[in-house]
Structure 1
Amino acid sequence: MAPRPGHQAVVQVPVATLWAAPDAVRPIDGPALRDCPDVAGWVAGMDRDQQVGDCVLTQLLLGEPVLVTGAGPDGWVRVVALGQPAAKLDPRGYPGWLRAAHLTTTDAAGRSGPALVVDVRRTTLHLAPDGPTALAGVVLGTRLRSAGRPTDGWRPVRVPGRADPLWAPEGDLVPLPTEWPEAKEVLAVAERLRDLVYVWGGLSTDGIDCSGLVQLAWRRYGVLLPRDADDQAEATVALALDDERPGDLYFFARPGRRIHHVGIVSAEPHGGRRRMLHACYLTRRVVEEELPADRVATLVGAHRV
């Protein structure tokens, strides 16, 4: 059944991209718009300038819920991403446009079975243990539901839009934690994404932006943070500089402007020198580095989740 305005739906593809408007997409964006999007191919095909196009707002992972708020032309729907808080834009979640083909109203994954989370950069779901591919490119932080006991190293999982379970390599999934993680555990997840390509609005292990890196690392442990850096600052606890510890957050803003960047503290401060792991707009990569002079000049605070 096609998603209808006023009703909830869930993402049925590994990664769905939320756009500013249907007419904002570019010719380079074709692979991300397919009924079965090729997000890795889309990212690989972009040049440095295309990686920061403001037509991309954020991305949603397999199983994420949305509220459909309107219908558009040629198979587009306006939605609110309920799992990505964005209080300044919409109190319900992040608003934007999705391809209707990326959604389903049949959420078999949401109704039963212990919660699991993908704990590798990317995994593939199969029609049977070691069988044909059903969904490729299911990324770190994606939540699934167990559909039974593992068999020969494969675990059955429930997937939105599919009546029958799919099968994942058992080692690629872990139980979704029920206890609050230590910040250093979250940092360890983010560190596994070093050298990942920077993509404005990216929220997957195919390409990611600064606040997406923070949101995805905490999502791996079941903690929901806002999507944008300025909202993340408001949702966390401010610290006195030099009280920060690995896994805390640094926020950056230019004088008189709102927060525009966030990084994850990667080492204890020493002698006024600080280090962070972040998705860097300048290098177009996730990097770990000492704060350069321009970052020091715009550092406005350290926070703890």
Structure 2
Amino acid sequence: MVLQPGREALVRVAVATLWARPEAVRPIDAPALAPLTDLPAWVSGMDADQQVGDAVLSQLLLGERVLVEEVRPDGWARIVAVEQPAAKLDPRGYPGWLLATQLAPAPDPTSKDGSLVVDATVTALRSAPDGDVVLPGVILGTRLTPDGPAQQRWRPARVPGHPVPLWAPTEDLAPLPDRPPTAAEVLAVASRLRDVIYVWGGVSAYGIDCSGLVHLAWRRFGVRLPRDADDQARATTPLALGDERPGDLYFFARPGKNIHHIGIVTAEPDADGRRMLHACYTRRRVVEERLPEDRTATLVGAHRV
């Protein structure tokens, strides 16, 4: 089957990078475009400036649904990432470009999404229990559809683009919850990503940005938050500063400008100030810290999901 404009497709690689335009791709980006995407090689190959270039818009996880708008002869597909709300860009989702080879035609749209979610920071899918690795680098928050009961410590799952089930370690999976997560649960997941390298547009345990960290932490529990910080502010409930609690969100903006940064509250405010977990642009990694003066000066609100 081939991709068809106007139809949905599913991501078939562990992590697909969404690009602003095909012409923006750099030679250093080759590992992110490989048939088996190699994010560790991609991230480690970039210098500090390349980590924050504007070519990357977002990333999509295995099984994520997209709407195909155009397929070019050179192998690029213009898509809308329908599971990443981006109201200011497109009411349907986040628009951008993917390699068509990283997508598989979607089954009947009435088919159910996966009822399992990857709870490990990173796992791999194999050809059989204890078999060869078929898909490395499958990320926290990836949904999987079971294809039969577990066998010992392995669970088979249907995976886009693969005609036979692939197998995941059962200890790396969890049922997708049927209730909203607690703030403590979300904060615990986000805290596991401490020290992950900052990559503009990143949504993975190999490289992530500030709004990607928030999007991914709630995604682990089936909560679909927008992709960008300003949209995340509009989708959450404002609080009076001082009423925030661990697991709430801090938003930051310069005078007269749109929101440009977001962090997850890690402690109640006290006489020593405020603390948050965030993907820090200047330090190029995920850190938990007390808000420095420059952050406090641009703090414009606290919100609750």
Deviates more, 1:111-120 or 1:179-188: 111-120
Q: Percent of aligned positions with the same letter in both sequences?
A: 66
- The offset of 1:294, in angstroms, is 0.5
Query: Cα distance, 1:272 vs. partner?
Result: 6.0
- C-alpha separation between the residues in 1 aligned to 2:107 and 2:221? 22
Give, in angstroms, the shift of residue 109 of structure 1: 11
Query: 1:2 Cα shift?
Result: 2.2
In structure 2, list runs of 5 or more residues that go unmatched. none
SS in 1 for 2:273: coil
Aligned twin of 2:172: 172
Q: TM-score, normalised by structure 2?
A: 0.97
CA distance in 2 between partners of 1:141 and 1:130 (Å): 22
- Contact in 1 for aligned 2:113/2:143 (Cα 8 Å): no
Q: CA contact under 8 A between 1:14 and 1:139: conserved in structure 2? A: yes
Matches within 5 A, 1:96-107: 96-107=96-107
Aligned to 1:207, what secondary structure does the other structure show? coil
Aligned equivalents of 2:196, 2:109: Cα separation in 1:
29
SS at match of 1:223: coil
How far residue 111 of structure 1 moved from its aligned partner, in angstroms, is 3.4
Residue 17 of structure 2 is aligned to residue 17 of structure 1: yes
- Report what 2:250 is aligned to: 250
* Structure 2 partner of 1:273: 273
Q: Which amino acid aligns with 2:297?
A: A
**Partner Cα separation in structure 2 for residue 256 and residue 11 of structure 1:** 38
Correspondence for 1:128: 128
In 2, distance between residues paired with 1:109 and 1:275? 43
Distance in 2 (CA, whole Å) between partners of 1:270 and 1:113 is: 43
Runs of at least 4 residues of structure 1 off by over 3 A?
106-114
Contact 1:2 1:100 survives alignment (8 Å): no
The one-letter code of the counterpart of 1:226 is P
CA drift of 1:38 comes to 1.1
Higher mean Cα deviation, 197-206 or 72-81?
72-81
Q: Distance in 1 between matches of 2:220 and 2:277?
A: 17
Partner residue, 1:33: 33
- Alignment partners' CA distance in 1, 2:268 and 2:293: 18
The alpha carbon displacement at 1:35 in A equals 2.2
The code of the aligned residue for 1:250 comes to: Y
Correspondence list, 1:67-146, <5 A? 67-107=67-107, 111=111, 115-146=115-146
* Pairing 1:57–2:57 present: yes
Name the counterpart of 1:200: 200
Count of matched residue positions in the alignment of Structure 1 and Structure 2:
305
Counterpart in the other structure of 2:300: 300
Aligned partners of 2:109, 2:190: CA distance in 1, in Å? 26
